[in-house]
Amino acid sequence: MDEQVLLALDYGGTKLSAAITASGEREWRALERVQSPAGKDAQYDQETMLALARQVLGGRRPAAIGVSFGGPVDAKRGRVILSHHVRGWDDTPLRDQLQSTFGAPVSVDNDANVAALGEYRFGAGRVGARYASPLLYVTVSTGVGGGWVLDGKIHGGADGMAGEIGHTIVDPQGPVCICGRRGCVEIIACGPAIAREARA
């Protein structure tokens, strides 16, 4: 019987990554990552990710697939709500699409939520034999996001948006954000904004 592998897919605003591991392991057996060109769309992301996934799988069928997505996600339904950085993702049934392609169960969530749970279980949230709870994880990358872990589970709030801190307005007179509002945390403190400030 072939060994069962787990497939991990990360859809970021500026990069795409695919990796495999086996249950109980903490290191990737194979990892492929590509930078995304400016102006890409959801179709580019999907085609590129399928190629990366097939490359790391090397002909194997995954036992399960975990997906992190850089934007708001309805994790219960496995749907991408939208991407502020890549056009064409609005209301995409990503879980269903991947299940149909690979014939394996798929879990889809926001990248900061997934990272928060990872830190809780294996990283900064683990203190000896105990876990830190509640735990807030903040990511600063193409955008700014956050994930909450309460009692060992991702806490999305009533609408799944509890960790979406990037579009909290902190300066009503600030620069216009990609979401259309002024002075969001993201437009002021994301990776590209920090780089611009450093060059100024």
pLDDT tens digits, 124-181: 888 888 888 899 999 999 899 999 999 999 998 888 888 889 999 999 999 999 899 9
Q: Is 94 in the same domain as 182?
A: no
Q: Where are the alpha helices (DSSP H) in the chain?
A: 42-57, 94-102, 111-122, 185-189, 191-199
119 inside domain: no
Q: Beta partners for 184?
A: 169
- Residue 98 in contact with residue 92, Cβ under 8 Å? no
Q: Is 137 in the same domain as 95?
A: no
Please report, for residues 56, 121, 158, 194, the alpha-carbon distance to residue 5 in angstroms, rounded to integers and kept in the order given: 10, 20, 33, 38
pLDDT tens digits, 23-48: 889 899 999 999 999 899 999 999 99
Domain final residue pick, 112, 144, 178: 112
Q: Is 96 in the same domain as 152?
A: no
What element of type H or E holds 6? strand 5-11
